[in-house]
């Protein structure tokens, strides 16, 4: 052992025992970068025998493309040695004897001997933790929301691409900055209170901004409404905090649209209630004088003491009074529907007879307009549990509409058939159709199609609304089966019952 050999130093002899007991790979290198001592863990980590490594340059443990850089860094460290963590912010890699690589963390410390300064290096295999870190970064990058990871002081440590896109910064501009950078100035104090409170109690509610009021600030100064979910992350370097930041602009716009729609609905419902109340009041007030007019007119017609001209006038009065009385009754029925539905009183009824009577009732009006009305029914009775008067009312309404829209020489057909456990009623005409409106709209209260308005077809837009309510009360359905400029077909299905 020479007089200049640092291993002859007594402190070095004591260190040899400490190196053997150290939990990490350890090595000593002189100022030229030559390895002078190492422990078994270091030899095992790099795949060498201990004797092979002694005297080798430390660069032999570094990938070839990084060796020149390492020599320069080693020279800088030799000029100003200190205790230092080399791995901070770096992905250091060691080179094994077999050419494979191993991710490492390295800590350096100067070691003074009587024969000169040495450098003590602690080398830790971080394969597992580096792999976990890469997996964590991939997960953060794959997250559907913007992710910001900050330390306990609120300094940003990591952001994903969605955070970059949301806030308009490059990732390098945000790392190391306070998260306040991403907030409007008016919210900075509130954030600081939240941060301190969350550090003290990580079990606090993890989501903020659920009801709005929280905003992020982009690089260009514009603001974006956000919702933030917080979660603590325990790491070897202390607790980090992951913030999942979600842009809720679309949600707020949707909620505003929903509230606006609800307000419109409330206004519409209030308007409808007022309209229903008005119609009910007016109908009650009109029914009594109309009934009186009709009664006296019928007495005059039955008296037999009228001139032909007066008889004609009386017939006109009776016809119009009956029409207005039917309208009043329909308005009262509408009011009843709006107040809670229509009552029906089912009984065992032969629908074949109901259909035949409906067609017979329509024949006088059909004769006046030159339209053919026929019934197509089964040969045998078709029994159903239904309210006969109400079903007859529906058929009268459909036949009346068909006659209004069918020109002279046209046809109106009322068909009845059995479809499983239901009765199918169809009213088909060869008229002008109901136009290109959504077919279901014809059942809306007071709705008048453009075809009806254009052809000046009389009506108040009430009959089909009442018909739909009656069929619904029978647990059935009514719809437009087909419509074109050559006619319309309405279909009704009602359960037959037991």
Q: In 3-state terms, what secondary structure has residue 20?
A: helix
Confidence at 337, pLDDT banded by 50, 70, 90:
low
Q: Can 6-125 and 130-247 be said to share one CATH topology?
A: yes
The tens digit of pLDDT for each residue in 278-324 reads: 666 666 666 677 778 878 788 888 887 778 888 888 877 877 776 67
Instruction: Give the model's pLDDT for residue 340.
Output: 65
CATH number attached to the domain at 130-247: 3.30.450.20
Residue 369 has pLDDT above 50, yes or no: yes
Instruction: Give the model's pLDDT for residue 338.
Output: 63
DSSP code per residue over 249-310: HHHHHHHHHHHHHHHHHHHHHHHHHHHHHHHHHHHHHHHHHHHHHHHHHHHHHHHS---HHH
Per the document, the length of the chain is 498
**% of the chain residues with pLDDT over 70:** 80
Beta bridge partners of 477: 493
| Most confident by average pLDDT, 61-75, 225-239, 330-344 | 61-75
**Cα–Cα distance measured from residue 102 to residue 340, given in angstroms and rounded to the nearest whole number:** 78
Least confident of 110-124, 207-221, 345-359: 207-221
The answer to whether domain 6-125 has CATH 3.30.540.10 is no
Say if CB 145 and CB 246 are below 8 A apart. Answer: yes
Find the helix or strand (DSSP H, E) in which 336 lies.
helix 308-340
456 against 355, higher pLDDT: 355
The CATH number, out of the four listed (1.10.287, 2.30.30, 1.10.150, 1.25.40), of the domain defined by the range 261-340? 1.10.287
In this prediction, residues 52-59 reach a mean pLDDT of 93
| Most confident by average pLDDT, 16-25, 325-334, 470-479, 481-490 | 470-479
The answer to whether domain 347-495 has CATH 3.40.50.300 is no
143 against 109, higher pLDDT: 109
Distance of CA 141 to the CA centre of its chain: 23
**Cα–Cα distance measured from residue 409 to residue 389, given in angstroms and rounded to the nearest whole number:** 30
Cα torsion 325, 331, 334, 335: sign: negative
In this prediction, residues 402-418 reach a mean pLDDT of 90
Confidence at 335, pLDDT banded by 50, 70, 90:
low
Residues 6 or more apart whose CB falls under 8 angstroms from that of 216 comprise 166, 167, 182, 183, 223, 224, 226, 245
- In the chain, where are the structural domains located? 6-125, 130-247, 261-340, 347-495
Find, among 450, 358, 451, 369, the residue nearest to 410 by Cα.
369
Instruction: Give the model's pLDDT for residue 449.
Output: 60
The tens digit of pLDDT for each residue in 25-55 reads: 999 999 899 999 999 999 999 999 999 999 9
| pTM of the complete model beyond 0.95 | no
């Amino acid at each position: 052992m020479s007089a200049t050999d640092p291993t002859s130093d007594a402190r070095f002899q004591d260190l040899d025992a400490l190196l053997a007991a150290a939990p990490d790979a350890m090595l000593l290198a002189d100022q030229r970068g030559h390895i002078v001592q190492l422990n078994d863990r270091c030899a095992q980590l790099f795949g060498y025998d201990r004797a092979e490594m002694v005297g080798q340059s430390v660069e032999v443990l570094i990938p070839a493309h990084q060796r020149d850089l390492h020599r320069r860094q080693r020279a800088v460290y030799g000029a100003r040695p200190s205790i230092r963590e080399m791995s901070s912010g770096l992905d250091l890699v060691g080179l094994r004897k077999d050419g494979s690589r191993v991710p490492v963390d390295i800590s350096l410390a100067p070691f003074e001997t009587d024969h000169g300064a040495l450098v003590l290096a602690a080398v830790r295999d971080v394969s597992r933790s580096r792999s976990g870190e890469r997996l964590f970064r991939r997960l953060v990058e794959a997250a559907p929301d913007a992710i910001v990871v900050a330390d306990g002081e609120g300094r940003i440590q990591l952001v994903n691409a969605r955070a970059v896109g949301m806030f308009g910064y490059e990732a390098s501009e945000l790392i190391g900055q306070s998260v306040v950078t991403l907030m409007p100035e008016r919210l900075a104090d509130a954030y600081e209170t939240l941060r301190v409170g969350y550090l003290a109690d990580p079990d606090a509610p993890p989501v903020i901004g659920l009801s709005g009021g929280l905003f992020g600030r982009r690089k260009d100064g514009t603001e974006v409404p956000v919702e933030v979910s917080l979660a603590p992350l325990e790491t070897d370097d202390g607790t980090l905090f992951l913030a999942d930041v979600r842009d809720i602009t679309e949600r707020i716009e949707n909620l505003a649209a929903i509230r606006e729609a609800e307000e419109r609905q409330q206004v519409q419902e209030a308007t409808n209630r007022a309209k229903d109340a008005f119609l009910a009041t007016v109908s009650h007030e009109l029914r009594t004088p109309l009934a009186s007019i009709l009664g006296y007119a019928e007495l005059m017609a039955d008296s037999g003491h009228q001139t032909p001209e007066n008889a004609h006038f009386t017939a006109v009065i009776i016809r119009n009074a009956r029409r207005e009385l039917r309208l009043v009754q329909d308005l009262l029925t509408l009011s009843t529907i709006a107040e809670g539905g229509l009552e029906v009183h089912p009984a065992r009824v032969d629908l074949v007879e109901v259909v035949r009577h409906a067609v017979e009732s329509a024949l006088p009006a059909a004769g006046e307009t030159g339209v053919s009305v026929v019934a197509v029914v089964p040969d045998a009775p078709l029994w159903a549990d239904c309210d006969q008067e109400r079903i007859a009312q529906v058929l009268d309404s459909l036949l009346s509409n068909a006659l209004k829209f069918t020109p002279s020489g046209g046809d109106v057909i009322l068909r009845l058939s059995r479809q499983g456990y239901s009765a199918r009623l169809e009213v088909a005409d060869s008229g002008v159709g109901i136009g290109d409106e959504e077919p279901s709209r014809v059942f809306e209260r007071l709705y008048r199609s453009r075809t009806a308005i254009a052809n000046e077809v009389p009506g108040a837009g009430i009959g089909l609304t009442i018909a739909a309510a009656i069929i619904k009360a029978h647990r059935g359905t009514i719809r437009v089966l087909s419509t074109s400029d050559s006619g319309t077909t309405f279909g009704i299905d009602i359960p037959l019952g037991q």
